Amino acid sequence: MLWFRNLIWYQFTPNTNFDEAMLSDALRADPFVPCRGAEAKSSGFGAPAGVLDEPVFTSQGFHLIALHSEDKILPSSVVKEAVAEKVAEIEAKESRKVFRREQQQLKEEMELTLLPRAFTRKRMTRALIAPSQGWMFIDASSHTRAEELMSALREALGSLKAVLVNTKHSPARLMTDWVLDAQPLAANFSLGEDAELVDPLNSGSQIKLKGQILNQTDVQTHLQGGLMVDRLALGFDDQLEFVLHSDLSIKRLRPTETAAERLETDQDDPLAALDTEVAHLGLELTRLLPELVAAFGGPAEA
């Protein structure tokens, strides 16, 4: 089943001419091509699922895309060893000392020589665009990965009006209040059993909690002592489970067991199955995110 495990999300304002055809044309003009020769990295847009040839798959108005990337893996130890051997060869053959500037030049030459033979690592970062609802969701575990896709998409489209969401109330402060029972939990949400507490004055001080009732006395004592909730497991409407971070990124997103059974499809046609999965994913995310923003007081004023 196609599903996003991690989520970094943006408010998206499409241009007046934004549609599936325009998006497809733009991404076809920036296709993924594997690294050639001494190229250290390559990226571009490609099929977001194995049953496709096109860079965009659309279902119920949701557009699924993917940025493909390839990196050459060249350990610094390998380069260092090759340079050392070359330095030793030159010094023995020419009876002279090889100084730092020449060693740096040799290092660059060795990298160019070794890169074509280096192993490669391939990655794919998917995004789901919901233009009618004004959202863009990226399945990425870090903002760096998400921004790689966003940067490539901006270049392909020429412009892109998308910004990370900020809320009126601090997520860390309000999540702390939920665990302290100082504020009622937002409607349709429920506390999970995992959390991470941090000291706002000492980033190295943290407590990880797993499989615990969070609003119990010993946990609340830590919070009353000055720690704050940085990550909190939540449930939504008996349909989704996830861990919310204080920067509003989401990890370990998954349907509940009941919802997963409902999402399972027995369709024999892979494209029909993908159509159902993309529609379900889009509908669930566009239900969750507005309520999550509302739980923190709505969007921050510009």
Where does residue 248 fall: left (phi above 0), alpha (psi -120 to 50 degrees), or beta otherwise? left
Mean pLDDT of the chain: 90
Burial 25-61 (b: 16+ CB within 10 A, else e): ebbeebebeebeeeeeebbbbbbbbeebeebbbbbee
**Number of residues assigned to the chain:** 302
For 265-294, write each residue's pLDDT tens digit: 667 788 888 999 999 999 999 999 999 999
Instruction: Name the E strands within 256-296.
Output: none
Q: What predicted TM-score, i.e. pTM, was given to this entire model?
A: 0.85
The pLDDT tens digits of the residues spanning 74-124 come to 778 887 888 888 888 888 888 888 888 888 888 888 778 777 777 778 999
Query: Which of 7-11, 50-54, 132-136 is least confident?
Result: 50-54
For residue 122, the cross-strand partners are 70
Long-range contacts of 84-89 (CB under 8 A, 24+ apart): 86/110
Q: State which amino acid sits at residue 283.
A: L
As a dihedral over the C-alpha atoms of residue 45, residue 49, residue 50, residue 55, rounded to 10 degrees, the angle is: -30
Residue 235 CA to residue 178 CA, distance in Å, equals: 13
Distance CA 229, CA 181 (A): 13
Whether the Cβ atoms of residue 167 and residue 293 lie closer than 8 Å to each other: yes
